[in-house]
Structure 1
Amino acid sequence: MTACAIETAAADGAVTSTDGTDGSDGARTTSDAEVPRGAAAPAITITADGTYGARLAGRGDALFPERWTLDGLEPYAVPLPLDQPEERDAQVLPLSDGRVLISRRVAERHTFSLLYPTGPATGELPLGAVPTEELTLLPPSPDGVLAYALVPNAHSTGIWLVAGGARGPERVAEVAGHCSGGAWLDRAGRLLALDRRRPDGGPVKTVVVDLARGGEVTPLLQITDESDDRLLLADADSGLLLIRSNAPGPGQDRLGWGVLGSARPVRFPRSLRLPDALVTPFAVQPGQVLMPESCAVALRIDGAAGSWVGLWRPSARRMIQLAPPEGWLAGAGTWNRDGVLQLPYATEPVPCGVIRTEVPEALGASAETFGHMAATEPAQAEAAGGEPCEGSEGPVVCRPVPLQQAPLTGRGSRG
């Protein structure tokens, strides 16, 4: 067990304008950089309730699973090594009971086990295997008990329950086409959003798979007929959706936001566009019931200078950029209901740490008021909520398709 410290973000850790100009727009740029095609997977996976995290730790080929406990006064890490090191393609997922699911590729199948500390040793409970060469664990389920994975087939994608079932790994749904991504839309762990390309090709569209109805598929995003529309993040409390789409124009993948089941258009705010950098949301403030515009969103920004943190909320019309803590496990973090962002990091002197940053209620306040923050642009630079997408022949209504057969449930349940 490793004791770890909690620190508060220092004022001198801010990212300021570094574009070599007068800084009038406040945006951090990475000149001569090439925008990454997609953000890398987070360096640690955290349960939906923020209680536990899991990652592969170690150096070189000496890798082992490590569980982080994040809900106490001080976080701590517990190594879970076995008799031999893990391969780099092993995948780990924390459960809310403190155990860690590990997926290993062995020949032409993936095996699953639950790992847990037993005094000085590591206990292992084998769960079974899935006969496939490729498999991707989905994000932790809202209940923290079940774990799912995507398995690609020739013309379809299987959804497998790989932990928490009564009979070991079992296929619970089959979706036509190639599916990727994965976001939970409810607190019950029933509605799973996936980005799907149909078997016959065409654009990528997000669909909802109802796991309680045998994998019934319902369209979710249909911004234009030709656009690739992907769901990056969803918040069950508020209905806020974070979307990446090229609907605003050919070759222009932009980050936008919408509201689940709403007739309001999807917006693509200018404040979420940074030159030569990729912006990807990774955490939404919980507890903002039916108030999507009030949700604070944490963003991972990847550019030539590395990865850093952005803070944004729809009503503020601006982004705040922060230098991450040294050793930030990039792309990982959680919000609590009080609006405090928690970023995990690991360094030589502090192998398990969390930076806690309090964010002002009004992200639209001036950067001078909060000297450790830098706004990306003046608040008056764009209309409220950003700009709707536009097609080549005029305005296009950009809205999520309301769920007709699978309404959200369990909004008030613990999560």
Structure 2
Amino acid sequence: MTVCAIEITTTAPFSIAADGSYAARLAGDGEARYPERWTLAGPEPYAVPLPLAQPEEADSEVLALADGRVLIHRRVERRHAFALLYPTGGAADGPRTGELPLGSVEPGDEGMRIRLLPPSPDGCGAFALASSAAGTTVWRVAGGPFGPVARIPGWCSGGVWLDRTGRLLALDRELEGTTKAVVVDLGRGGEVSPLLQIAEGSDDRLLLADPDSGLLLIRSDAPGAPRLGWGVLGSSLPVRFPECLRGEAGIPFAVQPGQALMPETCGVALRLEQGGEGGGTPGGSGGVIGLWRPADRHVFRLAAPDGWLGTGLWSPQGRLHLPYSTPGTPCGITGLTLPVAPPPPVRLDPPAAPAAPRPVPLQQAPL
């Protein structure tokens, strides 16, 4: 399976490696937390616990790497420490966990926020974002020399990879009261270029991207209120805000990969709020998932499986794989296929609708 794309607001509690081979989460309850690695590449998923001598704090972050190791980010007093965890093989008393410390970051001020970025597309690199009112720093924490690799003026959030090599990183930068998505070129010393410029005073955030097709999932208030829209990286066409997504407060978490030069055909999965606009199937205890593609005018609302871990990955063939954990099945994967959208309704003598304002096209990205 090939991983699609990752939720950008923060590292998901269930982290999937860039190639879809492994995943990781912080398992356990209360004060008995421990990292857990899932193997997804075989015929059936299975989990390996990676406990250490002391339990982990509930706010620790984990990131799955393509080589099977798990990166962990912990707060140790004021410092933010990073280490790699891995199983060391069987022993008389069961499997053990190895730990390789990588380094630490100490916040420069009280308001600084440090968190992991989604896994680098190359499968081995890992980066963290340190944001404060004074500016933002991108730190390399695995896959190369530990240290800062880019400094960006303004408070940055999000984090979306735009290529398959882990060079171009999109961030949502808040500067002078407006948030715009920018591109940080890690191969050119952190050079910053504008990415989204839909309207002069609009807040334009990038939620998800697919490097194969160039599809971008966007949230912007340029239409008058925050709405989900889509565009194509490097295209001169305007961002589109489909009517079927109007009122949806969902967050896209996965895009179907492998659709080269065909962004309209990419399946998109969204985590929706129960009872939101759009009707459809009510959610079970696992929540509600929306399935949509840009070529369609319909969002399918489906109940997520019980114990759904909030993310997933598409196969290039169009199958959405969703991880879940329940007392009966602590390590499970279920699949969904995007249904065929109904044809648009035929309307006779429709009243003339006012022309929608045409957004400014996407800024050319430095690909």
* Band the TM-score falls in, shorter-chain normalisation: 0.7 to 0.9
- Quick check: 1:44–1:53 contact (8 Å CA) kept in 2? yes
Q: Which residue of 2 aligns with 1:140?
A: 119
Q: Which runs of 5+ in 2 are unaligned?
A: 1-7, 90-94, 276-282, 348-352
Q: CA deviation at 1:278?
A: 1.7
Q: CA deviation at 1:302?
A: 1.9
Confirm whether residue 47 of structure 1 aligns to residue 24 of structure 2. no
Q: Which residue of 2 aligns with 1:69?
A: 39
- Quick check: 2:131–2:155 contact (8 Å CA) kept in 1? yes
- Quick check: 2:172–2:205 contact (8 Å CA) kept in 1? yes
Q: CA deviation at 1:88?
A: 1.1
Q: Which residue of 2 aligns with 1:178?
A: 155
User: Out of 237, 240, 243, which is 1:267 matched to?
Assistant: 240
Change (3 A) 1:116 1:264: same
Q: Which residue of 1 aligns with 2:297?
A: 317
Change (3 A) 1:284 1:247: same
Q: CA deviation at 1:49?
A: 1.6
C-alpha separation in 1, matches of 2:305 and 2:135: 41
C-alpha separation in 2, matches of 1:68 and 1:233: 24
Q: Deviations over 1:78-131 (max 9, x none)?
A: 110000100111111010000000011111111111000112110101111111
Confirm whether residue 115 of structure 1 aligns to residue 90 of structure 2. no
User: Out of 313, 318, 343, which is 1:334 matched to?
Assistant: 313
Under a length normalisation based on structure 1, what TM-score does the superposition of the two structures give?
0.78
Change (3 A) 1:389 1:320: farther
* DSSP 3-state at the match of 2:328: coil
Q: CA deviation at 1:379?
A: 5.7
User: Out of 94, 100, 110, which is 1:125 matched to?
Assistant: 100
* DSSP 3-state at the match of 1:129: strand
After TM superposition, the structure 1 = structure 2 runs for residues 357-396 of structure 1, keeping only pairs within 5 Å, are 357-360=336-339, 363-365=340-342, 390=356, 395-396=357-358
* DSSP 3-state at the match of 1:116: strand
Change (3 A) 1:389 1:280: farther
Task: Letter of the 1:99 partner, please give it.
Answer: R
Q: Deviations over 1:120-146 (max 9, x none)?
A: 110101111111263110001101100
Q: Which residue of 1 aligns with 2:260?
A: 289
* DSSP 3-state at the match of 1:204: strand
Q: Which runs of 5+ in 1 are unaligned?
A: 1-37, 367-377, 382-386, 408-415
Task: Letter of the 1:188 partner, please give it.
Answer: T
Q: CA deviation at 1:316?
A: 1.2
- Quick check: 2:137–2:148 contact (8 Å CA) kept in 1? yes
* DSSP 3-state at the match of 1:59: coil
Q: CA deviation at 1:42?
A: 3.2
Change (3 A) 1:347 1:90: same
Q: Which residue of 1 aligns with 2:273?
A: 302
Task: Letter of the 1:398 partner, please give it.
Answer: V
Task: Letter of the 1:203 partner, please give it.
Answer: T
Change (3 A) 1:300 1:53: same
- Quick check: 1:231–1:241 contact (8 Å CA) kept in 2? yes
Q: CA deviation at 1:389?
A: 9.7
After TM superposition, the structure 1 = structure 2 runs for residues 227-266 of structure 1, keeping only pairs within 5 Å, are 227-249=202-224, 252-266=225-239
Q: CA deviation at 1:43?
A: 3.1
Under a length normalisation based on structure 2, what TM-score does the superposition of the two structures give?
0.87
* DSSP 3-state at the match of 2:249: strand
Higher relative contact order (Cα pairs below 8 Å, separated by 6+ residues): 1
C-alpha separation in 2, matches of 1:352 and 1:39: 25
User: Out of 319, 326, 329, which is 1:350 matched to?
Assistant: 329
Task: Letter of the 2:76 partner, please give it.
Answer: V
Task: Letter of the 2:297 partner, please give it.
Answer: R
C-alpha separation in 1, matches of 2:77 and 2:198: 41
C-alpha separation in 2, matches of 1:154 and 1:316: 41
Q: How many residues align?
A: 337
Q: Deviations over 1:34-87 (max 9, x none)?
A: xxxx98863301112211111100011110001111121100111100001001
Q: Which residue of 1 aligns with 2:72?
A: 102
Q: Deviations over 1:144-187 (max 9, x none)?
A: 10000111234210000011113xx2000000000000000000
- Quick check: 1:318–1:379 contact (8 Å CA) kept in 2? no
Change (3 A) 1:39 1:232: closer
- Quick check: 1:296–1:313 contact (8 Å CA) kept in 2? yes
User: Out of 170, 187, 192, which is 2:169 matched to?
Assistant: 192
Q: What is the identity percentage for the equivalent residue pairs of Structure 1 and Structure 2?
A: 59
User: Out of 129, 144, 151, which is 1:150 matched to?
Assistant: 129
